[in-house]
Amino acid sequence: MLFAVLSGLVFSILLIPFGRYFRGRLSVLAGLLPIALFVYFLTYIPEISSGQTIRTSAAWVPSLGLNLDFYLDGLALLFAMLITGIGSLVFLYAAPYLKGHPYIDRFFAYLSLFMASMLGLVLADNILLLFVFWELTSISSFFLIGFNNDRADSRKSALVALGVTGGGGFLLMAGLVLMGHLSGTYSIQEMVQSNEFIKNHAMYGLILFLVFAGAMTKSAQFPFHFWLPEAMKAPTPVSAYLHSATMVKAGVFLLARLFPVLGGTDYWSYPLMIIGGITMLYAAFLALFRTDLKSILAYTTISALGVMVFLIGMGTRESLLAATVFILVHALYKATLFLVTGIIDHETGTRDITQLSGLRKVLLPVAVAALLAALSSAGVPLTFGFIGKDLIYEATLHQKELWATVLTGLALLTNVFLLCGGFMAGIRPFMGKLPARYSGLHLPHPLMWTAPLLLAVLGVVFGSFPSLVDGSLLKPAAQAIAAQPINSPLKLWHGFNEVLLLSAITLGAGSVLYFIFKPTEKKQDWILGFQRFSTYRLTSSLNRYFLRLSARFTGFWHNGYLRSYLFRIVAFAGAVVAYKLIKIGLIPLDMARVSPVTIYEIGVSLVMVLGVFLTLTTPSRLTAVVASSVVGYCLCLFFVFYSAPDLALTQFTIDTLTVVLFVLVLFRLPSFLKFANNRVKFRDAILSVGFGLVIAISALHVLNEPVNNEISSFYGDNAYRLAKGKNVVNVILVDFRGFDTMFEIVVLSISAIGVYSLLKLRLKPSDKE
Amino acid sequence: MKSQILQTATKYMLPILLLFSVFVLLRGHYHPGGGFVGGLVASIAFVLHSFSNGTESTLRLLKYHPRVFVPFGLLLAAVSMFAPVFFGLPVMTGLWLDEPIPVIGMIGTALFFDLGVYIVVIGVVLTILFTISQYSD
End-to-end CA distance of chain B: 12
The stretches of A219-292 forming alpha helices (DSSP H) are 227-230, 236-240, 249-262, 266-287
Mark yes or no for CB contact A749/B37 under 8 Å.
no
Q: What is the DSSP letter of A588?
A: -
**A72 - beta bridge partners?**
A54
Residue A488's Cα: distance from chain center in Å? 40
Mark yes or no for CB contact B110/A760 under 8 Å.
no
- Please tell me the predicted confidence (pLDDT) of residue A135: 92
Is there a contact between B43 and B130 (Cβ–Cβ < 8 Å)? no
Task: Examine the pLDDT at A573 and tell me if it is beyond 90.
Answer: yes
Residue B103: which pLDDT band, with cuts at 50, 70 and 90? low
Percent of chain B's residues with pLDDT above 70: 88
Cβ-based neighbours of A163, under 8 Å, separated by 6 or more = A227, A539, A543
Closest CA of chain A from B116, distance in Å:
9
CA atoms within 13 A on the CB side of A67: 16
Looking at residues B55-84, what average pLDDT do you find? 87
A214-248 tens-digit pLDDT: 988 888 888 888 888 888 878 888 888 887 778 88
Is there a contact between A646 and A730 (Cβ–Cβ < 8 Å)? yes
- Nearest 5°: the CA angle A178, A183, A185 is 95
- Please tell me the predicted confidence (pLDDT) of residue A768: 47
- Please tell me the predicted confidence (pLDDT) of residue B137: 61
Percent of chain A's residues with pLDDT above 90: 9
> Whose CA is closest to A621, among A673, A574, A679?
A673
CA atoms within 13 A on the CB side of A550: 5
Looking at residues A636-658, what average pLDDT do you find? 87
- E strand or H helix at A72, and its extent? strand A70-72
Residue B104: which pLDDT band, with cuts at 50, 70 and 90? low
Looking at residues B52-73, what average pLDDT do you find? 87
Mark yes or no for CB contact A657/B125 under 8 Å.
yes
- Please tell me the predicted confidence (pLDDT) of residue A485: 76
SS3 category, A352: strand
The stretches of A517-644 forming alpha helices (DSSP H) are 521-528, 535-557, 562-584, 599-617, 621-641
Least confident of A132-141, A712-721, A748-757: A712-721
**A292 - beta bridge partners?**
A352
A172-201 tens-digit pLDDT: 999 998 888 888 888 888 888 888 888 888
List chain B residues with CB under 8 Å of A723: 94, 110
Quickly count: other Cβ atoms within 10 Å of residue A564's Cβ. 13
List chain A residues with CB under 8 Å of B35: 733-734
- Please tell me the predicted confidence (pLDDT) of residue A763: 52
A574-607 tens-digit pLDDT: 999 999 888 887 776 766 767 778 888 899 999 9
- Please tell me the predicted confidence (pLDDT) of residue B1: 57
Mark yes or no for CB contact B131/A756 under 8 Å.
yes
Q: What is the DSSP letter of A326?
A: H
- E strand or H helix at A484, and its extent? none
Task: Examine the pLDDT at A24 and tell me if it is beyond 90.
Answer: no
Instruction: In whole angstroms, give the CA distance from residue A630 to residue A604.
Output: 10
Out of B29, B36, B67, closest to residue A756 by CB: B67
- Please tell me the predicted confidence (pLDDT) of residue A769: 43
Instruction: In whole angstroms, give the CA distance from residue A242 to residue A99.
Output: 20
Residue A765: which pLDDT band, with cuts at 50, 70 and 90? low
DSSP A175-213: HHHHHHHHHT--BHHHHHHTHHHHHHSTTHHHHHHHHHH
Residue B72: which pLDDT band, with cuts at 50, 70 and 90? very high
Instruction: In whole angstroms, give the CA distance from residue A675 to residue A686.
Output: 18
Which ipTM value was assigned to this complex? 0.88
Mark yes or no for CB contact B77/A733 under 8 Å.
no
Residue A582's Cα: distance from chain center in Å? 47
**A59-61 and A54-56 strand pairing:** unpaired
Is some CB atom of chain A closer than 8 A to the CB atom of B122?
A: no
SS3 category, A71: strand
> Whose CA is closest to B39, among A714, A574, A654?
A654
Closest CA of chain B from A762, distance in Å:
8
Most confident of A135-139, A414-418, A453-457, B100-104: A135-139
Out of A645, A729, A734, closest to residue B114 by CB: A734
Looking at residues A503-511, what average pLDDT do you find? 82
Residue A686: which pLDDT band, with cuts at 50, 70 and 90? very high
Put simply, the chain B residues between 18 and 47 with a CB less than 8 A from any chain A CB are 24, 28-37, 40-41, 43-44, 47
Mark yes or no for CB contact A742/B94 under 8 Å.
no
- Please tell me the predicted confidence (pLDDT) of residue A671: 61
Q: What is the DSSP letter of A434?
A: P
- Please tell me the predicted confidence (pLDDT) of residue B124: 93
As a whole number, the mean pLDDT across chain A is 83
- Please tell me the predicted confidence (pLDDT) of residue A368: 86
- Please tell me the predicted confidence (pLDDT) of residue A495: 67
- Please tell me the predicted confidence (pLDDT) of residue A672: 58
At residue A515, φ and ψ (nearest 5 deg) are -80, -30
Q: Is the dihedral of CA A458, A461, A464, A465 positive or negative?
A: negative
> Whose CA is closest to A222, among A168, A170, A169, A276?
A276
Instruction: In whole angstroms, give the CA distance from residue B97 to residue B111.
Output: 11
Q: Which value, in Å, is the radius of gyration of the alpha carbons in chain A?
A: 35
Looking at residues A49-62, what average pLDDT do you find? 81
Is there a contact between A95 and A31 (Cβ–Cβ < 8 Å)? yes
**B108 - beta bridge partners?**
B96
- Please tell me the predicted confidence (pLDDT) of residue A350: 80
Instruction: In whole angstroms, give the CA distance from residue A540 to residue A314.
Output: 33
> Whose CA is closest to A84, among A115, A120, A49, A53?
A115
**A66 - beta bridge partners?**
A61
Mark yes or no for CB contact A738/B110 under 8 Å.
yes
Instruction: In whole angstroms, give the CA distance from residue B26 to residue B24.
Output: 6
Q: What is the DSSP letter of A224?
A: S
Q: Is the dihedral of CA A647, A653, A658, A661 positive or negative?
A: negative
Length of chain B: 137
Q: Is the dihedral of CA A94, A96, A97, A103 positive or negative?
A: positive
Out of A649, A722, A742, closest to residue B81 by CB: A742
Looking at residues A155-184, what average pLDDT do you find? 88
Looking at residues A138-153, what average pLDDT do you find? 86
Mark yes or no for CB contact A730/B128 under 8 Å.
no
- Please tell me the predicted confidence (pLDDT) of residue A609: 93
Instruction: In whole angstroms, give the CA distance from residue A263 to residue A259.
Output: 4
A110-136 tens-digit pLDDT: 888 999 999 999 998 888 889 999 999
| B127 or A485: which leads in pLDDT | B127
